[in-house]
A = this chain, B = another copy of it.
Amino acid sequence: MTSIRDIARVCGISVGTVSKALNGYKDVSKETVRKVNQVARELGYTPDSLARAMRTNTTHNLGVLFIDKQQSGLRHEYFSSVLESFKIGAERRGYDITFITGNVEGSPWRSYLAHCRYRKCDGVLIAGVDFKDQDVIDLANSEIPVVTIDYKYEGQPAVFSANQHDMGALTKYILYRGHRDIAFIHGEDTIVTEQRIAGFEGACREAGVTIPDDYIVEGLFHNPDRSFQATKELLNLGNPPTCILYPDDYSTIGGRNALQMLGLSVPEDISIAGYDGIMMSRVTSPTLTTLRQDSFAIGRKAVDKLIDTIEFPDEDNDEVVTVAGQLYRGGTVGQYQAKE
């Protein structure tokens, strides 16, 4: 590979001057800059990020920690979508991204933080993980700038989807359609779940509707099997709900299967709604009533916040940005009519 040294030799000048010429320093003549650039092009020179990073102590490399509990990885459409816009934003600002993994057999690191340090990430996106995991906390408390999605660490910036507000909007819509017996199969015990339950209960309270305890059942994110089971349980109650909310669109699949198995049709016999607004929700028949998260904006805000924190560490970066989603009415929540 051709290095800065080769250019120096051909031009008959020192490596220091070549470096300065390539990086636009002021103390180098117009003429040498021209010459250096020409020779660099002729020799097919590409800089070496490693050497540069070693010297400057910045890699222009962002870590991405992204391990949902269901291990769906990139197959998780909502996260993939967030990641895609994060990636595009990063590229535009000259950063590459690296996936952070923990203790993999045979790797030179033993934790997320060690992996980040090994690769010398300038900053890390943390999303979709167990935020209470000590390894994750260690990373968040380290010297490495961090941005989280849907969780807030003290002193670190965060991006939130407007879970409470949006869930409130979705619930209000369902109430507006006349439903009063609304069940909510929610996800694991996380901030997101707390916020969504708060939004759900807030909207019900506001409408003067009381929800029995056994209508609020714990399911799992991104897990159709669990939704299948939880749906069956709900329908075995003395007074089954007329509408069921699921942790996300993907889990809804399981719920739908359960309903079909029981011979119930949507939305005639029972109504359902998801959350996320993934592609799939738009192509079922009828289309799924859901709340579309603005995954594009979330990824974009996250990467901008992260890079700002990296490049301008002096400014106030302990901030939380909230991104609102959009209600999609779909066709799975019917107008409620009292049974005869």
Contacts and interface: CB of A to CB of B under 8 A. Distances in A.
A118 interface: yes
B74 A283 contact: no
Contact of A74 (B83, B105, B107): B83
A48 B118 contact: yes
Most interface-central of A48, A49, A92 (chain B CB within 10 A): A49
Interface stretch (A95-103, A202-210, A306-314): A95-103
A216 interface: no
Given A74-B87, A84-B73, A283-B253, A49 B92 contact: no
A47 B87 contact: no
Contacts of A250: 279
A285 B114 CA distance: 47
A322 interface: no
Interface in A216-264: 250, 253, 256
A120 interface: yes
Contact of A108 (B47, B81, B97, B106): B47
Interface residues of A, number: 49
A88 B71 CA distance: 11
A107 B49 CA distance: 11
Nearest to A100: B96
B87 A80 contact: no
B106 A94 contact: yes
Interface in A98-135: 98-99, 101, 104-109, 114, 117-120
Most interface-central of A98, A114, A119 (chain B CB within 10 A): A119
A50 interface: yes
Contacts of A1: 117
A26 to B, nearest CB: 20
Contact of A75 (B59, B81, B114, B117): B81
Nearest to A109: B46
A335 interface: no
Nearest to A55: B50
Contact of A96 (B53, B105, B119, B280): B119
Given A75-B77, A77-B77, A105-B92, A119 B87 contact: no
A96 B98 CA distance: 7
A91 interface: yes
Contact of A80 (B59, B75, B91, B284): B75
A51 B59 CA distance: 12
Given A74-B81, A77-B77, A108 B96 contact: no
Contacts of A338: none
A79 to B, nearest CB: 9
A46 B108 CA distance: 8
Given A48-B118, A75-B279, A285-B285, 4 more contacts: A87-B99, A92-B104, A93-B106, A250-B279
Interface of A: 1, 46-51, 53-54, 59, 73-75, 77, 80-81, 83-84, 87-88, 91-94, 96-99, 101, 104-109, 114, 117-120, 250, 253, 256, 279-280, 282-285
20 contacts: A47-B118, A49-B118, A49-B119, A49-B120, A50-B53, A50-B54, A50-B59, A73-B84, A73-B87, A73-B88, A74-B74, A74-B87, A75-B77, A75-B80, A94-B104, A96-B98, A97-B98, A97-B99, A280-B283, A284-B284
